[in-house]
Amino acid sequence: TIGANKPFRDLAWGLAQKGVATLRYDKRTFVYRDKLTTANLQNFTVKEETIADALQAIKYLSKQEQIDPQKIYVLGHSLGGTLIPRIVEKASNAAGFIIMAGAVTPLEDLIVEQIKYISALDGLSTQDKQTISTYEKMRTNVKQLNKNSRTEPAQLFGIPSAYWLDLKDYEPAKLARKIEKPLLLLQGERDYQVPPRELQLWKKELADKKNVRFLSYPDLNHLFMKGEGKSTPQEYNLVGHVANKVIEDIANWIINIK
């Protein structure tokens, strides 16, 4: 659930109506957030946050009688999409992969871009400028991290250093060149969290690959929901649904793969 919206429910129900079964699940950081203490966060990375459970989901589905283990596709949205190339490395049995609003730009840079975008919507106040300055300092802290760093999470966007170090040399688009299975990338052009230029960065690396398809939607935001004008955080509080066109495109792509 994001604001008043349930994009993964929309995708699940929409795909089910087209004959595509889905498995969706909550992230560990949501279900077990009360158990995430300072001690067990010291070595916390995207492996624990996202990758391990995606691999378990594939394993679980492959054992279900009603599921064809040769036709399991992995879909990731936002950070989940960004991490698809790393998931692929350990998911050789999956039939294909779908990246929705996945980023190529480093996460720390996107965070600063987002705060600048949001702050500028109503004009920059003195407080906004101070907040941006704080975020820029934290970005610098992230960029300067090494294995000997002792920087506190409070100086790293509230995220432990192990998490950032794990992502430090990650280049998702370059790693995605190794993907031989079918790959679908989707992008909303009203997305301010993962801007449309990110799709162009994927294309720069992958445009020559025959197994990759790119789809872009002019009037959709980060949740692949329709809107007008500039997208804002407040937009997520308005009840919407994932555009039917997106669901149709995903379903048709899966169904038509030979």
Q: Is 191 assigned a catalytic role?
A: yes
Catalytic pick among 161, 166, 222, 231: 222
Residue 91 Cα distances to 22, 44, 51, 159, angstroms: 17, 21, 10, 27
Q: Which spans in 123-195 are helix H? A: 126-143, 161-167, 172-176
> Residue 221 corresponds to which amino acid?
N
Nearest partner of 1 among 27, 33, 19, 39, judged by Cα: 27
Strands 183-188 and 212-217 come out as parallel
Catalytic pick among 78, 161, 166, 231: 78
Nearest partner of 165 among 156, 175, 176, 154, judged by Cα: 156
Catalytic pick among 161, 166, 191, 241: 191
Strands (E), 48-191: 73-77, 96-100, 183-188
- Residues with catalytic annotation? 78, 191, 222
